Amino acid sequence: MDRIRLHNLEIKVIKVIPMLLALTALLNTLLSYFYMEVPLLSYIGGVSILPLLFLYLSSYAFGFCSYHRMFLHYVSVNWVLNIYDYYIGIPLSDKELLMMYLIITGIFIFIILYLHQKSLKDR
């Protein structure tokens, strides 16, 4: 592959990875409510601080719009809530915790759709 194709491929992959991470985070949340452990989702979509930092920096370096970064924000919020619940605990039942995650997901979906439509109008 020449450099231009490789560069274009990298940009496309960096654009898609936040969406895949958000999808795996949502699937992992939904399945964990039903006590269905899927370690493959954690292996594929598990994010630590350094890869998340790399994706944020890449989104700014390649000039992605805020629409693409919203997926990273969703993953970050989901990740922080999971860590807080694991170490400190959120005093909610399983059903209430699932509802909280679904409300957060709904808010992010609304914002993502709004930003996507706004970016289409700006073109």
pLDDT tens, residue by residue, 79-111: 999 999 989 999 999 999 999 999 999 999 999
Domain limits at 20? 3-122
Q: How far is CA 120 from CA 19, 47, 97, 104, 117, in A?
A: 18, 30, 35, 24, 5
Angle between helices 49-61 and 66-87 (to 10 degrees): 170
Give 31-45 pLDDT, tens digit per residue.
989 988 888 888 888
C-alpha dihedral over 96, 48, 23, 75, to 10 degrees? 60
> Which one, of 71, 69, 62, lies nearest residue 7 by Cα?
62
Q: Phi, psi at residue 59, to the nearest 5°?
A: -65, -35
Q: What is the pLDDT of residues 7-60, one digit of tens each?
A: 999 999 999 999 999 999 999 999 989 988 888 888 888 888 899 999 999 999
- Residue 38 is predicted with a pLDDT of 87
**How many whole angstroms separate alpha carbon 72 and alpha carbon 78?**
10
d(Cα 8, Cα 120) in Å, to the nearest integer?
Answer: 21
* pTM summary value: 0.89
Rounded to the nearest integer, the mean pLDDT of the chain is: 91
3-class SS at 44? helix
Query: pLDDT grade, residue 1 (50/70/90)?
Result: low
Cβ–Cβ under 8 Å, residues 17 and 44: no
Q: How many domains does the chain have?
A: 1
